[in-house]
Amino acid sequence: MKVEQISVFLENKSGRLAEVAEILARSGINIRALSLADTADFGILRLIVKETEKAKQVLKEGGFTVGKTEVIAVEVSDRPGGLAGILNVLNGGGINVEYMYAFVQKSGNNAIIIFRIDGLEKAIDVLQKAGIRILKGEEVYSL
């Protein structure tokens, strides 16, 4: 039920993001989802890729600082109120969301939301009890 995510720390300067994308492209690694947060000095690029270990290795070899964390991917109806429903379930379970990002599938009526939550096991339990579908890593990597 958990998905591996890599985080890449980037200096906030021109070309660094392009360099990450180029390294991954040369290594045949396709990005399934991403999020970029920045400050004045640096950014954190969060990526979902199929070959997490290979991506970590090639990016480290390219001089980047890379970490790995576990997140969950939740399927939600792509309609007004879809996100609110998921957040209400989490809130009702006393679960705090550290950060999240989303993407819409190529076909169908659903979106996928990636959540970083402290206490993933509890979050998975609460979401499953509410009938919310949590995707396996393999499902996300193959989207």
CA atoms of 93 and 76, how far apart (whole Å): 18
The string of pLDDT tens digits covering residues 48-96 is 999 999 999 999 999 999 999 999 999 998 889 999 999 999 999 999 9
Domains of the chain: 2-68 (3.30.2130.10), 71-141 (3.30.70.260)
Do 72 and 84 touch, CB atoms closer than 8 A? no
pTM across the whole model: 0.89
The string of pLDDT tens digits covering residues 96-137 is 999 999 987 765 678 999 999 989 999 999 999 999 999 999
Q: Determine the Cα angle at 13 with ends 7 and 15, to 5°.
A: 80
